[in-house]
Amino acid sequence: MSDLFTRAQARIPGGVNSPVRAFGSVGGDPFFVARAEGAYLETEDGRRLLDYVQSWGASILGHAHPVVVEAVRRAAGDGTSFGAPTRREVELAEAIADRVPSVEKVRLVSSGTEAAMTAVRLARGATGRAKVLKFAGCYHGHLDALLVAAGSGVATLGLPGSAGVTAGTVADTVVVEFNDVAGVDAAFAAHGPDLAAVLVEPVAANMGLVPPDPGFLEHLRAQCSAHGALLVFDEVITGFRVGLAGAQGRFGITPDLSIFGKVVGGGLPLAAVGGPTAVMDELAPLGPVYQAGTLSGNPLATAAGLAVLGELSDDVYATLEARATALTTGLATALGAAGFAVTAPRAFTLGGLFFSPTPVRDYADAKAGDAAIYARFFHAMLDRGVYLAPSAFEAMFPSLAHTEADVARTVEIAAEAAAAVR
């Protein structure tokens, strides 16, 4: 065990500040990152790793992109936090609204969890209703109300939920399987007049990668409209990651509220809730729904977010999509040739990998994948210099810094790794 991890464990629960990083489901000790550039991480113990996590998708341009670094450097010289309005908050809100037609107004916060918490409270405040519907395996951060049948770290650790979340806090949470149209209809039949919101990751990316079935999101839109519930797209992962207007732009669906994080903060702690003026103005100070934060709209994070959004274009997404296609088809071919039954889904610029012979449509399918083989494959790849997510319940995030050659080399390494773990 590295000295750093020993010290970390003495002072930080599990030695990490977010559970998936602990390598709990893949085994072994986590590495510590010393620095990163482009597609690569450098670890404290001197390894150079081709990184497909990219801060869980936040670093869409690759690590330490010069435009972002310069923007943050310049912003830092002018002060790092004021707790007062700044010009760049306005510019970032405008930039988001310019790109995402469903968004007229934006409230900036500091993390995806905070954004989801705000969206739930806002939906309840705006509709005067209590219940929220979420999908099993979707993850919306670690707010109590949505920490039921959650993906990401909760799935990684195989937990049913979380200790400390009381029955009362989740009594108004309705859970349905992802892609289950009949389940959605049954939930609306049972709870329609009480449902404030339906929250969904339009592409589920916290139980591995699970794209929506054709018509699923349209059905959610129709049911929400029919029953007066707000449709909330959690685009923390997909926002500005799969297209300029996020997944909603790619699918052509208009949610009532959207949650953004990761890319919108350019790799710094920033997230956002956005939607039409009539709903957003329910937030304090105009409306009765309270929400606040000293670091909200932080000057470094808005600088990074604006720098990244300024670099994104349709050409960028076309390149990312080509990389994601080469990666998923290459991995499927390499692993298939070695005799593994895998499915490697792709949704626009995102990739997934399940050791499962059949397509994965929901959380039950995702959990049926062979996590033990994933763990062995993960380590075989890591030993050869490629860092995939340290959990079978996460996605792959090729960045703009990943070259065609990087992806081709990844596929070659995958063939070698697959043979080694066979």
Chain residues that interact with ligand HOZ, rule: CB under 6 A: 18, 20-21, 56, 152-153, 206, 394
Between CA 353 and CA 357, with CA 356 as vertex, the angle to 5 degrees is: 120
Q: Is 234 a catalytic residue?
A: yes
Residue 62 or 153 having the CB closest to ligand HOZ: 153
Round the CA-based radius of gyration of the chain to a whole number and report it: 21
Q: Which of 105, 131, 134, 262 is catalytic?
A: 262
Beta carbon of residue 138, minimum distance to ligand HOZ (angstroms, whole number) = 11
Of 279, 302, 274, residue with least CA distance to 289: 279
Of 217, 227, 210, residue with least CA distance to 254: 217
Backbone φ and ψ of 157, nearest 5°: -85, 0
Residue 208 or 249 having the CB closest to ligand HOZ: 208
Beta carbon of residue 324, minimum distance to ligand HOZ (angstroms, whole number) = 17
Beta carbon of residue 155, minimum distance to ligand HOZ (angstroms, whole number) = 10
Residue 18 or 313 having the CB closest to ligand HOZ: 18
Beta carbon of residue 417, minimum distance to ligand HOZ (angstroms, whole number) = 23
Q: Which of 40, 105, 134, 139 is catalytic?
A: 139
Please give the DSSP secondary-structure letter assigned to residue 204: B
Element (H, E) at 273: strand 271-275
Of 389, 317, 403, 322, residue with least CA distance to 26: 389
Backbone φ and ψ of 360, nearest 5°: -105, 120
Of 391, 371, 387, 384, residue with least CA distance to 418: 384
Instruction: Compute the distance between CA of residue 251 and CA of residue 238 in angstroms, rounded to an integer.
Output: 12
User: In this chain, which residue has its C-beta nearest to ligand HOZ?
Assistant: 18
Residue 153 or 274 having the CB closest to ligand HOZ: 153
Structure tokens at 391: 């959990």
What's the gap between Cα 290 and its chain centre? Answer: 25
Q: Is 139 a catalytic residue?
A: yes
Residues paired with residue 199 on neighbouring β-strands, in sequence order = 232
Residue 56 or 348 having the CB closest to ligand HOZ: 56
Beta carbon of residue 378, minimum distance to ligand HOZ (angstroms, whole number) = 15
Residue 255 or 261 having the CB closest to ligand HOZ: 261
Beta carbon of residue 392, minimum distance to ligand HOZ (angstroms, whole number) = 12
Of 140, 137, 162, residue with least CA distance to 149: 137
Q: Which of 40, 52, 131, 234 is catalytic?
A: 234
Active site residues: 139, 234, 262
